[in-house]
Amino acid sequence: MQQLETQVVVIGGGATGTAVLRDLAMRGVAAVLFERGNLSEGTTGNFHGLLHSGGRYVVSDRRTAEECHAENQILRRIAPQAIEETGGLFVALDDADEEYLPRFLEGCAAVGIPTTVLSGAEARREEPHLSPAVRQAVVVPDGSIDGWDLCTGSVAAAKEYGARVFLYTPVTELIRAGERVVGVRAVSQADGEEYQVRAEYVVNAAGPWAGQIAALGGVPLSLALDKGTMVVLDGRPVKRVINRCRYPADGDIIVPVGTAIVLGTTSVPVTDPDNFVVEEWEIDKVLDECVQMVPLIDEMGLQRVFAAVRPLYKPPDEPEVDVVSRVFYVLDHEELDGVGGFITITGGKLTTARLMAERTADAVCAKLGVDAPCRTHEEPLPLGA
């Protein structure tokens, strides 16, 4: 068994965990990351691919809209290699969409998201495959972003600052000393090597597996797991991200990614992040919704379907709601459960992963007595690990 010592262990090699590792390393904190598979093997490698402008959430979730708007601009500066600046359109097809449009524009103005309103004809000049039914469209700075490029860039940066990364090495136990987590045990899937790591703090950035990780140390953490299915079609009939101009609903976004378009998504409760299937009705639903915006979709070849799971969290003291918000939470288990040395970061978006990491690293640094400001918004990511 290898014995290691560090200040912080980060669990999870998705967008959030790798961003936390980078942030801590840049502040001079010794940090080690364990990922059970490869980088971005979880939600990050199986998400929709949309760099949110914030537009989707301006009416439903103002805080997330503001965070996306700010982070969208930061990511364009620090990670241009992971982004395609497609731009985006919110298209209004019917009376209900046109009634939503003024609220949407008001929300964008309040958040500071730049918009341009186009007539249906103007929008079709930009995107000839848009439906003749499109009456108006709003231009927003949406984009397309690659989860793998973001993770490898964060890891390369973190390593430059001295961080260590163990891939294919799942954490199997949180080591407790009384009411405190003091490290982890992990086992390499490659060579069977066992690791026992002593740490002052452990950060749980395991996305939809965060509840399972907490349970490894006897810490209760209840997440609402929510599956989203996406459909990939062969070809790229639109240049921009196309959103339906309405209150966020199922199957109303088309994201161009490379030579394909990705349609999505659905929202279905699940109980196990490793055990779910794409259902036929989800594919039909997504296709039915998106074909209304781009009729050519009806004739396009289906390349593949895939799904991922959102870890949604509702604080115990907040009232029950139909749709759990996409905001993120830094959960200090000392305050919540009386277990020190352990923090979970959950919820949020890939677009806001850097900010989530900043808030997590702020909390960890305050515990460690490290007085170093976040600099992750200033320094560009290197080109891959």
Q: Tell me which of 9, 11, 118, 254 binds ligand FAD, using CB under 6 A.
A: 11
* 52 touching ligand FAD, by CB under 6 A: yes
Query: Is 54 a binder of ligand FAD (CB under 6 A)?
Result: no
Q: Assess 48 for contact with ligand FAD (CB under 6 A).
A: yes
| Binding flag, residue 44, ligand FAD (CB under 6 A) | yes
**Which regions of the chain does DSSP assign to beta strands (E)?**
2-11, 31-34, 50-51, 83-84, 88-92, 116-119, 136-140, 143-145, 164-166, 171-176, 181-187, 194-204, 224-234, 241-244, 253-257, 260-264, 268-270, 302-312, 328-332, 342-347
71 binds ligand FAD (CB under 6 A): no
Q: Does 36 bind ligand FAD (CB under 6 A)?
A: yes
**In the bound complex, what is the minimum distance in angstroms from residue 4's beta carbon to ligand FAD?**
15
Among 206, 283, 330, 357, binds ligand FAD (CB under 6 A): 206
The single residue listed with the structure tokens 């020190």 is: 340
Q: Please report, for residues 85, 148, 310, the alpha-carbon distance to residue 47 in angstroms, rounded to integers and kept in the order given.
A: 18, 11, 9
Using CB under 6 A as the binding rule, whether residue 261 contacts ligand FAD is answered as no
Partners of 164 in the beta sheet? 32
In this chain, which residue has its C-beta nearest to ligand FAD?
14
Residue 282 touches ligand FAD, criterion: CB under 6 A: no
Per CB under 6 A, does 241 bind ligand FAD?
Answer: no
Q: Which residue has the tokens 């070809």?
A: 235
Q: Which stretch binds ligand FAD (CB under 6 A): 56-64, 80-88, 175-183, 347-355?
A: 347-355
- Using CB under 6 A as the binding rule, whether residue 309 contacts ligand FAD is answered as yes
- Options 10-18, 23-31, 80-88, 135-143: segment touching ligand FAD (CB under 6 A): 10-18
List, edge to edge, every strand of the sheet that includes 83-84. Answer: 50-51, 143-145, 83-84
Closest CA to 158 of 343, 27, 352: 27
Measure the CA–CA gap between 240 and 210, rounded to whole angstroms.
Answer: 34
Among 240, 159, 244, 184, residue whose Cα is nearest residue 1: 184
Residue 141 as a binder of ligand FAD (CB under 6 A): the answer is no
Closest separation in Å from C-beta 210 to ligand FAD: 8
- Cβ distance to ligand FAD smaller for residue 17 or 88: 17
Residue 312 as a binder of ligand FAD (CB under 6 A): the answer is no
Q: How far apart are CA 351 and CA 147, in angstroms?
A: 10
Task: Look up residue 131 and give its two tokens.
Answer: 């439906």
How far is Cα 214 from Cα 234, in angstroms, rounded to an integer?
40
Q: Which residues bind ligand FAD (CB under 6 A)?
A: 11-17, 34-37, 41-44, 47-50, 52, 170-171, 205-209, 213, 228, 265, 308-310, 348-351
